[in-house]
Structure 1
Amino acid sequence: MARYTGPKDRINRRFGVALFGPSKALERRNFPPGQHGVRAGRRKKSDYSVALGEKQKLRFQYGVLEKQFRLYFAEAQRRRGITGDVLLQLLELRLDNVCYRLGIGNTRSAARQIVNHGHVQVNGQKVDIPSYHCKPGDVITVREKASSQQLGLRFLDLTQAVPLKDWLTLDRATMKGHIARMPEPEDMDAQVNVQLVVELYSR
């Protein structure tokens, strides 16, 4: 399973945004990493550099590698609608992201691991592929195994203060989530200018 395994705080500091969840390193040193990090923010960036940075932020935020991201973009171009909005919808409907949004994982990385270890079911069937594409009407549940239930309860307790997105419903007692509808642009908190990403790939 391909995924980014490098230093996350370094990426957060490079972009000045907590892409992987709360970052104390970003709070302490809110400038880019490296020997010249303090002065790096003063240089004027080219339009290409800005667009590339937005694309990289989106990739890291959802835990997608470059080849996967290109495939998502190609699929978004093929579908009807605004390419940027469709791209975000495709990323939001990944199973690991849906579990993260439901609170079955306090970070996307944790949700990805829970899925990969086989603790999650979709419509009653075990699915251990984090990139599995969910759709409206799907029911996501934590498996009835004791270890899965214990893990699910622990994460739901950790994330109980996090508000649930409007396109999802969750029964905490049974640890059963439901995708009520497609996510809309206002439902997504992607910390990027997705239009710049579309322009970058359209060059």
Structure 2
Amino acid sequence: MARYTGPVCKLCRREGVKLFLKGDKCMSHCTLERRNTKPGQHGASNRRNKESEYAKQLREKQRVRRTYGVLERQFSKTFHTAANRPGRTSENLLQILEMRLDNLVYRLGLADSRAQARQLVNHGHFAVNGRKTDIPSFIAKPNDVITVRERSKGTEYFKTRALLLAQKGVPTWLSLDINALTGRVVTIPSRADLELPFDEQMVVEYYQR
């Protein structure tokens, strides 16, 4: 299945919650707040059919997948990796998704959205532990250091980004050196560290049905 390239606001309207697919822009220019209906010709219908448990589980799975910008097959593999790890599958799933390189670039404030972070990683702007890494799905570990490569620091984008970073904070499980444009993974986040618009336990129920 190809990656979705249409208007991302439609995805938020379909799921009925803000997925923050545009990053900070979602705080001030949110289509969902102006058009709180599902997209399509029947989106504004007043009919309210009761959703089955399967439908609810499917919606939560789609919310998680779309939030992190992961394709269906890749998401399924990620879930099974989480299920084979010790501990709660739901928390393992979130931890794997949060430790993706594109998500870490977004969390560090080096991109406005996960989609933009994925593009920056694909273009080779980052190194992990001093080694160029252009794979968005790369899974980092605690104490890994993510750095904007020297050749990229001189670009207009990262010069501007360095000025904006002073106004942003980073999660407690990450650290950021603004001057060096370098971030570090302090620890793997727990569920309590994350504010996310979905119930990941329903994703587990979806795959275990």
Q: TM-score per shorter chain, which class?
A: over 0.9
* Preserved contact between residue 32 and residue 40 of structure 1 (Cα < 8 Å): no
Q: Aligned pair in 2 of structure 1 residues 127, 152: CA closer, same or farther (>3 Å)?
A: same
Q: Distance in 2 between matches of 1:33 and 1:61?
A: 18
Q: How does 1:115-126 map to 2 (within 5 A)?
A: 115-126=121-132
Work out which of the residue numbers 184, 188, 191 in structure 1 matches 2:190.
184
* Preserved contact between residue 162 and residue 179 of structure 2 (Cα < 8 Å): no
Moved more, 19-28 or 133-142: 19-28
The one-letter amino acid of 1:95's match is L
Q: Which residue of 1 aligns with 2:138?
A: 132
Q: Which residue of 2 aligns with 1:38?
A: 44
Q: Distance in 2 between matches of 1:146 and 1:193?
A: 38
SS of the aligned residue for 1:140 comes to strand
Q: Are 2:166 and 1:166 equivalent residues in the alignment? A: no
What's the TM-score once normalised by structure 2's chain length?
0.90
Q: Which residue of 1 aligns with 2:13?
A: 13
Q: Distance in 2 between matches of 1:178 and 1:146?
A: 18
Q: Which residue of 1 aligns with 2:66?
A: 60
Q: Are 2:108 and 1:112 equivalent residues in the alignment? A: no
The one-letter amino acid of 1:26's match is L
Q: Shift of residue 41 of structure 1? A: 7.0
Q: Distance in 2 between matches of 1:163 and 1:187?
A: 14
Q: Shift of residue 147 of structure 1? A: 5.8
* Preserved contact between residue 13 and residue 33 of structure 1 (Cα < 8 Å): yes
* Preserved contact between residue 31 and residue 37 of structure 1 (Cα < 8 Å): yes
Q: Distance in 1 between matches of 2:148 and 2:90?
A: 32
Cα deviation per residue 1:143-177 (whole Å; 9 max; x = unaligned)? 11156653223234445444310100001011110
Q: Which residue of 2 aligns with 1:3?
A: 3
Q: Aligned pair in 2 of structure 1 residues 47, 13: CA closer, same or farther (>3 Å)?
A: same
Work out which of the residue numbers 66, 71, 77 in structure 1 matches 2:77.
71
Q: Which residue of 2 aligns with 1:88?
A: 94
Structure 1 gaps, min length 5? none
Structure 2 gaps, min length 5? none
Q: Aligned pair in 2 of structure 1 residues 9, 184: CA closer, same or farther (>3 Å)?
A: same
Cα deviation per residue 1:2-40 (whole Å; 9 max; x = unaligned)? 632233111111112222131532121011112221226
* Preserved contact between residue 118 and residue 136 of structure 2 (Cα < 8 Å): yes
Identical aligned pairs, as a percentage? Answer: 47
What's the TM-score once normalised by structure 1's chain length?
0.93
Moved more, 128-137 or 153-162: 153-162
The one-letter amino acid of 1:12's match is C
Q: Distance in 2 between matches of 1:73 and 1:148?
A: 39
* Preserved contact between residue 142 and residue 148 of structure 1 (Cα < 8 Å): no
Q: Distance in 1 between matches of 2:69 and 2:157?
A: 22
Cα deviation per residue 1:40-71 (whole Å; 9 max; x = unaligned)? 67322111111100000100000101100111
* Preserved contact between residue 95 and residue 132 of structure 1 (Cα < 8 Å): yes
Q: Are 2:187 and 1:175 equivalent residues in the alignment? A: no
